[in-house]
Structure 1
Amino acid sequence: MSNLNDYLDRSAAAITAMVERDLSAEMQRATDAVVTALSSGKAFLICGNGGSASDAIHIAGELVGRFLKERKAYNVIALPANAAVLTAWGNDYGFDTVFSRQVEAHGAQGAVLLAISTSGNSPSILAAAEQARTMGMTVIGMTGDTGGKLKPLCDVLLNVPSTSTPIIQQGHICLYHYLCEEVEIRLSASPDNR
C-alpha cells in the first residue's frame, strides 16, 4: 500500500514527462482546429468511455457554459451524455457504434471530434474516429503513451506518457483545461464570439 505522497509523486512525474515530451505544437494544432470549427458554425464533438465519458461531459460543460470568461455559448456536444441514444442504439445495434452514429448525426466537414481513450484501443472510440474521417472532420486523439490503434486515425495526438489509466486521466485534465482556456481566449477576442 502506498501513501498519498507516493501517489502524488507518481502524478507529478507524469506531468513532468508531459513537459519533456512537449506537446505544445500538437496542442496548438488542436486549438486551431477547434477555434476554426466553432468560429465557422461547425460542431466540436467529444467522446469517451467510463472516466473519459465524464471528461467529455466536463469539457462540454466548460465550453457550452463558461470556463473563465463571460461569453456566448459554443457548439460543443458530449456524445456520452445522451442516455436515450446510447441505450437504444447500444441495445439494438451494439455498443461499438454508439458514438459513430452520433458523429454521423452531428458531424460535418470542417467539424472536430475529440476522441478520448486512455488505451487508444476502445472499439467505440475507433469507430467514431473512422466515421469522422469519412466526413472530412479533424480528429484529435487524447490517449496514453503510445496512442494505440487510435493514433493513425488522428490528425492531432495528445498522448500522456504513462500506461496507468488514472495517471493518464489526470494528464488529460491538464490538457483539456488548457484547451478550454485557449479556445475561450481566442474566440472571445472576436467581436462575433463574445
Structure 2
Amino acid sequence: MSDLKANLKQSFLDSLKRHRDAFATVEAYHDEAMQLLEAVQHCLQQGGKVVWMGNGGSAADSQHLAAEFMVRYKAERGPLASIALTTDTSILTAHANDYHFDSVFERQVLGLVRPQDVVIGLTTSGKSPNINLALKAANELGAFTVALTGRDGGLVKDIATLPIIVKNDETARIQEVHMFIGHWLCEALDLAITGNN
C-alpha cells in the first residue's frame, strides 16, 4: 500500500509540474491560444462549426469538448456548432472494415467540412495517420486546422495551420494540458458571448 500511496503522490506531483511548466511559459502559449480563440470565434460567426477528432483518450477528449460547445460550459448560452468525428460507431466500423482505419477521419472531413469550419485534431505523438490525413484534407477544403499535440510535434506540426505542442513525453500529462486548453477555450467563448464567467 505504501508503494501505491507514493505512486499516487508522484502522479499528482507530475501533473502539477506539467501545469506549472505551462503556466511558467504562458507567453510561449499565449499567441497560439489567442489564435485558436480568434479562429473559433470567426468560424462560429460565419456559421461554421468546430470539428474534433482523436484516438483513444484523445477521442474521449474530443467528445467531451464537442459536448461542452453544444450543451454548455458554465454560462447559459445557445449551442455552439460542434461535432466529434469519434462518436458514430457505424461510420467508424464500416469505413475501417471496407477501407482502412488510416482514412476514417479523412472520409468524414471530406463529407462534412466546409471552408468556414475549424478542424481540431488531438494527437499526443503527432504521428497518428488518421489525424494527419484528415487535417491535410481539411486544409485542401480551406478550413482552419489545429493540432493539439505533444512531444516534438511529430509530423502534424507541419500539417496543421496552428500546431499547439505540449513539450512533454508522457501521454497522460500531454492530454491533461490539452483538456486545460480546451476548457480555457470554452471559458473564453462563454465570456465573449455572455460577458459572464
What is the TM-score with the length of structure 1 in the denominator? 0.93
Spell out, residue by residue over 1:50-105, the C-alpha distance to the aligned partner (whole angstroms, 9 max, x if none): 00000000001100000011111111010001111111111101101111111111
Shift of 1:19: 2.0
1:32 aligns to 2:43 (yes or no): no
Residue among 41, 44, 59 paired with 2:65:
59
Q: CA deviation at 1:145?
A: 2.7
Any gaps of 5 or more consecutive residues in structure 2?
none
1:15 partnered with 2:19: yes
Task: Quote the Cα distance in structure 2 between the aligned partners of 1:18 and 1:62.
Answer: 23
Name the CA distance, whole Å, in 1 between partners of 2:139 and 2:24: 30
Q: Which residue of 1 aligns with 2:8?
A: 4
Residues 188 and 97 (structure 1 numbering): CA distance in 2 closer, same or farther, change over 3 Å?
Answer: farther
SS of the counterpart of 1:140? strand
- Name which structure has the greater RCO, CA cutoff 8 Å, separation 6+: 1
The answer on 1:116 being equivalent to 2:135 is no
Q: Deviation per CA, 1:97-133, whole angstroms, max 9, x where unpaired?
A: 1111111111111210011000010000001110110
| 2:189 maps to 1:170 | no
CA distance in 1, matches of 2:164, 2:128: 16
Aligned identity (percent) is 32
Deviation at 1:20, TM superposition (A): 3.0
Equivalent residue letter for 1:90: A
1:31 touches 1:179 (CA, 8 Å); kept in 2? yes
Report the CA distance between 1:157 and its aligned residue. Answer: 1.8
Partner of 2:76: 70
Give 5+ residue unaligned stretches, structure 1. Answer: 190-194
Structure 2 Cα separation of the partners of residues 188 and 38 of structure 1 = 15
- Please tell me the residue identity of whatever aligns with 1:78: A
- Please report the RMSD computed on the Cα atoms of aligned residues, expressed in angstroms: 1.2
Report the 3-state secondary structure (helix = DSSP H, G, I; strand = E; otherwise coil) of the residue aligned with 2:12.
Answer: helix
Contact 2:149 / 2:166 at 8 angstroms: preserved in 1?
yes
- Supply the distance in 1 between the matched residues of 2:152 and 2:21 (Cα, whole angstroms): 14
**Aligned partners of 2:73 and 2:187 also within 8 Å:** yes
Aligned 8 A contact 2:54 2:121 in 1: yes
